[in-house]
A = this chain, B = another copy of it.
Amino acid sequence: MTTPPSLLSLTIHSAIHNLSRISDLSFLPDHVVLDLFLETLRAGKLNERVLKLFVATGKDEVLSLIEAFNIQQIVTPVLPTILKMSQLNIMDSEVDIVVGALHSDLTSFMNEWKPIFSQYHLIIVKDPELKEDLIIPDGFDLDVYTQQDIDRIVGASNSIKFSGYSCRYFGYLMSRKKYIISIDDDCVPAKDDKGLLVEFVAQHISNLSTPATPFFFNTLYDPFRKGADFVRGYPFSLRSGVACSLSCGLWLNLADYDAPTQALKPSLRNTRYVDAVLTIPAGAMLPVSGINIAFDREVVGPALCPALRLAGEGKFRWETMEDIWCGLCVKVTCDHLKLGVKSGLPYVWRNERGSAVESLKKEWEGVKLMEEVVPFFQTLRLPEAAVTAEACFLEIAKAVKEKLGRSNQMFARAADAMVEWVEIWKNAGSGPLPVDN
C-alpha cells in the first residue's frame, strides 16, 4: 500500500515545471525550499537562473547543499556525479590500438578481435627479431611498422631496443591519438560473468575519461560507474576527482604470474571475474602488466618506454620487466601530477604459452630486481618544478642513475634509455609523422 501524495509534494512537483515563471522563493518555509531544491536537482532542472533563485533565498541548508555538491554557477544543468558520465563522448577516432607482434601469423588473433578491432585504427609493430613475414587478414584499418621503420625514424639507438615485447613502444611513438590501448597478441576477447562479450575498448576509455579518486578510497569502487556513488564519509571536496591517465586491465584464464609461481602452480588459472574498477590510491605502488593497458598518450605518453631490459629477457611475459618498470614510473609521475591510475575491468582471455620451468632456468634476475626497485619507487619524491610527464620522467631517470645505477649496470642503462626516450619522443612522438622515403 503506498501513501497518497501529499498536497505539499504535488505543489512541489508542479512548481518544478513552472520554475521559469518563479522569481522569488524566499517567502517559503525552509523545509519546502530544501525539498524543492532536491526535486529540482533530481529532475535535472537546475540551471544558472534557477541556481541564483535558490541562492537568493539565503537558506542555510540549501547553501550547504550547493557547497557540498560543489555546484558551480555555470549555464548547463548541474548534477553531481551523474552528469560527468554523459559528458564523455569520446570519438572512435581518438583511439589507437597498438599490438606488438611477436608471432608472424596474426590471423586467428585478429579474427577473434574483429568485432572490436574493426571499429578502430590499429598500429601493429613487428618484433624486429621475428624473421617470417606477418600474416594479417583483411578488413582492418591499420598501419604496420617493422625494423625498417624503426631504423628510419629512431635510427640506431644506443640504449633503446625495440625487440620482443618492447616493439609496442615504437607504436606508442607513431600514434597521434589521444588514447592508446595496448594488447598482447596471445589474448582474445573475454566474456563477463553473465557470458557477454566484454566491452573492451569502451571500458578502457570509460576508465580513462571518467575521473579517478586517488586521494580517498571509495569502498564501492568506481563512484562514476552506473549504479554506484560515493559512500557516506567521502569528502565532498574530493568528489570531483582528478583526470585518469592509465587504465590497467586484467586477465582471465592464464593470469600474469611470474615464472616461479607458474612453475610451482602449473594448473593455476584465473576464473574469477571481479566486476570492479578502482583507483589505486596516491602513494601506493602496483605492478602494471603491459598485457592489457590503456593510457592517455597526450598526458603520460612520454613516460612509457622500454627502459629496463633484463640480460636474459625473452619472448614470454614472465621473462620481461619492462612493463613493470614503466608502470612504476607512470604511477610516480601520476601521483606527483595529481593524476589517477585505475585497475580492474576490462578483462582479456589469455591463452597458454611457454614453459615456466624452462624460463626459470634462464631468468631469475627480474624477480630479484624488484626487491631493490620497489623501495626505490616507494620513497621517490619529485621536485615541485616538474609539472609535465616529460619533466617527471627525466627526474626519475636522474634519481635512477644516482641511487640505483651504481649498484647495477642494468639500472644505469635504464636511466640512459629514459633520457634518450624523451629526446626521441620530442622528435618523433609529436607533430606530423615523418614521411616514408
Residues of A within 8 A of B (CB): 30-31, 34-35, 38, 41-42, 60-61, 64-65, 68-69, 79-80, 193, 215-221, 225, 227-238, 248, 250, 255-258, 260-261, 263-266, 268-276, 278, 280-289, 317-318, 321, 324, 327, 343, 357, 360-361, 364, 367-368, 370-371, 374, 378
Q: What B residues does A234 contact at CB under 8 A? A: 258, 287, 370
Please tell me if the beta carbons of A283 and B286 are within 8 angstroms of each other in the complex. Answer: no
Residue contacts A-B, CB under 8 angstroms, 5 given: A60-B364, A220-B255, A232-B324, A238-B374, A274-B275
A276 CB, nearest partner CB in chain B, Å: 4
A408 CB, nearest partner CB in chain B, Å: 16
Q: How far is the CA of A61 from the CA of B327 in the complex (A)?
A: 27
Closest 4 CB pairs of A and B: A233-B287, A281-B284, A233-B324, A217-B286
Task: Contacts A233-B324, A284-B284 given; indicate if A34 touches B220 (C-beta within 8 A).
Answer: no
Please tell me if the beta carbons of A233 and B258 are within 8 angstroms of each other in the complex. Answer: yes
Q: How far is the CA of A219 from the CA of B256 in the complex (A)?
A: 10
Please tell me if the beta carbons of A357 and B34 are within 8 angstroms of each other in the complex. Answer: yes
Main secondary structure of the interface of A (DSSP, over half): loop
Q: What B residues does A265 contact at CB under 8 A? A: 42, 229
Q: How far is the CA of A368 from the CA of B235 in the complex (A)?
A: 8
Complex: chain B residue closest to A320, CB-CB: B232
Please tell me if the beta carbons of B256 and A231 are within 8 angstroms of each other in the complex. Answer: yes
State how many copies of this chain the complex holds: 2
Q: How far is the CA of A218 from the CA of B278 in the complex (A)?
A: 12
Q: What B residues does A248 contact at CB under 8 A? A: 219
Most buried by B among A218, A268, A283, A287: A287
Please tell me if the beta carbons of B220 and A270 are within 8 angstroms of each other in the complex. Answer: yes
CB within 8 A of A367: which of B68, B287, B371? B68
Q: A236-B370, A274-B274, A274-B275 are in contact. List 19 more A-B contacts (CB 8 A).
A: A30-B361, A38-B263, A60-B364, A68-B364, A217-B286, A220-B250, A221-B274, A229-B257, A229-B261, A230-B261, A231-B255, A232-B257, A232-B261, A232-B318, A233-B287, A236-B371, A280-B281, A281-B284, A284-B284
Please tell me if the beta carbons of B229 and A280 are within 8 angstroms of each other in the complex. Answer: no
A290 CB, nearest partner CB in chain B, Å: 10
CB within 8 A of A287: which of B69, B219, B264, B286? B219
A260 CB, nearest partner CB in chain B, Å: 6
